[in-house]
Amino acid sequence: MEKISYTWKQKYLIAKKYYEKNGSLIVNANSENEEEKQLGIWLSCQRSAYKSKLKIGNSNIKPLTDEQVELLNEIGMIWDKGLYNYSNKKINRDIKRAVELKAYKFLKKIRNTNKKWNRNTRRHRKHK
């Protein structure tokens, strides 16, 4: 079993802290914030090392150990950002549609209630 380096553990702890604070490991490697930028670059490298482990990426990259993969999985590592972004966009679109539909139904109900109220009010005025 290969020993995990001290540097990797330090970066992992930074990623874990970020995950606990933000609820995800989607970090922009182009961030203005230098710490976020460095974390984003490190996470990108971990994704590449994971692909190397699966033999679908650059074979020159040292693959992650099973222990490293397990640790990263524990803190919600997103191995395929493209797939994650696609599914989140679809989920967000579906949520937006559901909210719009509920808002539409709610407003329609209010309008109908107001129409009935207005009709009843007008009848009362005519009979006075």
The domain limits of the chain are 1-79, 81-128
CB 45 within 8 A of CB 24: no
Whole-number Å distance between alpha carbons of 45 and 33: 18
- Token output for 67: 């222990």
Please give the pLDDT value at position 41.
Answer: 93
Angstrom CA distances, 16 to 13, 28, 43, 56, 124, stand at 5, 16, 11, 26, 68
Mean pLDDT of 58-87: 80
Please give the pLDDT value at position 98.
Answer: 64
Range among 23-32, 51-60, 85-94 rated most confident: 23-32
- The answer on pLDDT for 23 being more than 60 is yes
- The answer on pLDDT for 28 being more than 60 is yes
